[in-house]
A and B are shown apart, each in its own frame.
Chain A
Amino acid sequence: MSTVPRPWRTDMLTIHCPWCGPRDETEFSYGGEADIARPAAPDGLSDAAWADYLFMRTNPKGWHCEQWNHAHGCRRWFKAERHTVTYEIRVTWPMHREQP
C-alpha cells in the first residue's frame, strides 16, 4: 500500500443516504445549494432581492451545504456537507433535521 495520501478520490463517490446507508453515486441526483429559503412576502420584494433568491448562488470553493435525492433508492431528499475541491462528503442528514 502506498503511504502517499491521495489528495482526492478518482473513483465514483460513495454517498451515505441517511436511510439506506452508503450507496454508489449513480443512485443519486444532485439538488444544488441547500437552505435557500423562499421569501416570506414575495409581493413586497424588489427585483434585485427576487433575483438574489432565484439566481444568485454562494458557489464556494470549499465546504458546501447541499441537497441530494436518493433517486434510484428510497427517493427521499437529504442534505450533505461536501467539499467542492476534494469532493469529500463529511456528513449527511435528513432534510427536516438540524445539521449534526
Chain B
Amino acid sequence: MQKYSIMSLARQALNGHRGWQPAWREAEPKRRYQVIVIGGGGHGLATAYYLARVHGITDVAVIEKGWIGGGNTGRNTTIVRSNYLWDASAALYEKSLQLWEGLSQDLNYNVMFSQRGVLNLGHTLQDMRDIRRRVNANRLNGIDGEVLDTQGVKRLVPFINTSPDARYPVLGASWQPRAGIARHDAVAWAYARAADALGVDIIENCEVTGIRRDSGRVTGVETSRGLIEADRVGAVVSGHAGVLADMAGFRLPLESHPLQALVSEPLKPILDTVVMSNAVHVYVSQSDKGELVIGAGIDAYTGYGNRGSFRTLEEFLAALIELYPIFSRLRMLRHWGGIVDTAPDASPIIGRTPVDGLFFNVGWGTGGFKATPGSGWVFAHTLATGQPHDINAPFSLERFHSGALVDEHGAAAVAH
C-alpha cells in the first residue's frame, strides 16, 4: 500500500502527480473464501478490515452490487455522536466514537473527523426533562455531555431563533462536545484501502441473487458474477435487508423507508457545530466546502424509491426557516433520498440468524453512519468467533422473541 504522508505528497507533486496508485485492487471473485461480507458500504468494509487486522482472517471477500460508497454511506448527513440513553446503545456508539478519534491515523487516510460538538434542541418542558435524564445517563456511562439553557444555545449558534413566541421555542439543548462530523466518502475509501492492503478482496458490481444453504447451514452466495462459496457469510446491508432475509428464508422485524437530505449553495463559515432537533425533525451542519447539510425525518410510508417525498421536504424546510430565519433565501443545490431499514425499537440487529453460518448486521435505521467503526469492530468479532461480542449481544434478532428491546426511539427521543 502506498503510504500517504506529507513526504509522499511532496514527492508526487514534483512528479506531476503521475505516480499515485489506485487505493484498492480490482479483485476477481475466487471460487471460495473463508468469510464473505455482503455489502461494500462503510460498515461492511470496516467489518472486513477488523476481521483482517484484529482477528487475522484475511481470506475475505467484500461483495458490493454497485460501487464502493455508492449506497447510504454516501447519502447520510455525516453526524457522529454517542449520547444515547440506554447502556447497551451507549456502549455500542461510544466504542464507535472512540475508534473515530483515532481513525485517520489508524487507516493512514484523512477521514476529516471534526469534533465540533452536537446540540440536540429541546422545545418543550418534557423535551428538557428527557434531555436532563439522557445527559445524566450519558455521564454515568462516561460519555461527555452538558445541559444548556436558551442562552447557552445562543452562545454557540448566535443566529438561531430563540424568540419565546416561536412555534417551537428553544428552551435548551443537550451538548456533546466530542461529537461532530466526518467525510463520509473518505471513510468508505479508507476502510476499502486498508482492508485491501491486508489481503481482502473487494469485488464491486457483484449483486447477490441467492443464498446457498445445505441442511440449515450457509454454503455460499449466488451472485451476478457466479457462485462464491464460503464458511461464513455476513450481510451488512441497508435498504435491502428484508430482500436478503427473504433469500435465506426468514423474515425480519424491519420496514424500509426513504430518508432524505439536501445540500445548499456554499456559504462563508457561519455554523461551527451541528444542531439537531428531534421535535421538528431537522438537523443541520456546515461542510468544509461551506454548504449547509440538512437532514430530515423518514417518510411515513415504506418505500425503496431512493427519493424523499415532497410532503416531508416541505415540513422540514418550514422547520429550518422557523429555527433559522437567516437561511430563508438560501438556494438548495442537491436533494436525495436513501433507503433505511428501521426496527420497531430503532436499534440495529447484529448477530446470528436462523441459518447457521449466516450473520446479519442490519436495521441501523436513520443513524448508521456514526456507528461505522464500532459496527465493523463488533461484527468482525461475531464473524470470527461465531459469537456476539459483549457489546452487540443485546442487539440480537432473538430480542424480538424475548421482549428485551433496546427502545432508543421512544425512551431517548433523540433523532438517529
A residues at B contact (CB < 8 Å) = 8, 10-13, 25-26, 29-30, 32-33, 47-48, 50-52, 54-61, 64, 66, 82, 84-87
Q: Chain A contacts of B242 at CB under 8 A?
A: 57-61
Asked if residues A32 and B255 are in contact (CB atoms below 8 Å), the reply is yes
- Supposing A8-B305, A84-B305 touch, asked if A25 and B253 sit within 8 A by C-beta, the answer is no
Contact (Cβ within 8 A) B254 A8: no
Contact in complex: A85, B303 (CB < 8 Å): yes
A25–B307 alpha-carbon span in the complex (Å): 16
- Cα A52 to Cα B398 with chains together (Å): 11
Bound-state CA distance A12–B313 (Å) is 11
State in angstroms the CA–CA spacing of A50 and B303 once bound together: 26
With A32-B255, A57-B253 as known contacts, state yes or no: A10 contacts B243, CB within 8 Å. no
Task: Report, nearest first, the 4 A-B pairs whose CB atoms are least far apart.
Answer: A55-B253, A59-B242, A56-B251, A30-B300
A25 neighbours in B (Cβ, 8 Å): 309, 311
Known: A10-B307, A12-B310, A47-B401. A29 touches B253 (CB 8 A): no
> Main SS of chain B's interface residues?
loop
Residues of B within 8 A of A64 (CB): 302
Contact, CB under 8 Å: A85 / B300: no
Identity of the chain A residue whose Cβ is nearest the Cβ of B242 in the assembled complex: A59
**B344 contacts partner chain A, Cβ-Cβ < 8 Å:** yes
* Chain B neighbourhood of A32, CB < 8 A: 255, 302
Question: Which of B243, B300, B344, B401 is in CB contact (< 8 Å) with A61?
Answer: B243
Alpha-carbon gap, A14 to B213, bound state (A): 43
Please judge, given known A-B contacts A55-B344, A59-B302, A64-B302, whether A12 and B309 are in contact too, CB under 8 Å: yes
Q: Are A12 and B401 in contact (CB under 8 A)?
A: no
Tell me how far the C-beta of B82 lies from the nearest C-beta in chain A, rounded to whole angstroms: 26
B307 touches A8 (CB 8 A): yes
Selected from A50, A52, A54, the residue in CB contact (under 8 A) with B251 is A52
List residues of chain B with CB within 8 A of the CB of A8: 305, 307
17 contacts between A and B (CB under 8 A): A8-B305, A12-B309, A30-B300, A51-B401, A54-B400, A57-B251, A57-B252, A57-B254, A59-B255, A60-B242, A61-B243, A61-B304, A64-B302, A66-B302, A84-B303, A84-B304, A85-B304
- Chain B residues within 8 Å of chain A by Cβ, number: 24
Please tell me if B256 contacts chain A, counting CB pairs below 8 Å.
yes
B409 close to A (CB within 8 Å): no
- Give every chain B residue within 8 A of A59 (Cβ-Cβ): 242, 252, 254-256, 302
Contact status A87-B303, CB under 8 Å: yes
Residue B402 CB within 8 A of the other chain: yes
CB of B240 closer than 8 Å to a CB of A: yes
Chain B residues, Cβ within 8 Å of A47: 401-403
Min distance, Cβ B304 to any Cβ of chain A, angstroms: 5
Chain A positions within 8 Å of B240 at CB level: 61
Which residue in chain B gives the minimum CB-CB distance to A24?
Answer: B311
* Residue pair A85, B311 in contact (C-beta under 8 Å): no
Q: What's the nearest-Cβ distance from chain B to residue A16, in Å?
A: 15
Whether the Cβ atoms of A84 and B302 lie closer than 8 Å is: yes
Contacts A30-B300, A86-B305 given; does A51 touch B252 at CB 8 Å: no
Distance in Å: Cβ of A21 to nearest Cβ of chain B: 19
User: Which of B252, B301, B307, B401 lies in contact with A48, CB distance below 8 A?
Assistant: B401
Within 8 Å CB of B311, what residues of A? 12, 25-26
Question: Among residues 229 to 262 in chain B, which have CB atoms less than 8 Å away from a CB atom of chain A?
Answer: 240, 242-243, 251-256
Q: What are the residues of chain A within 8 A of B302 when measuring CB–CB?
A: 32, 59, 64, 66, 84
Query: Contact between A55 and B309 (Cβ–Cβ < 8 Å)?
Result: no
Closest chain-B Cβ to A9's Cβ sits at a distance in Å of 9
Also in contact, A51 and B400, with CB within 8 A (given A59-B256, A59-B302): yes
Q: How far is the CA of A14 from the CA of B253 in the complex (A)?
A: 29
Give the most central of A30, A32, A52, A61: most B CB within 10 Å: A61
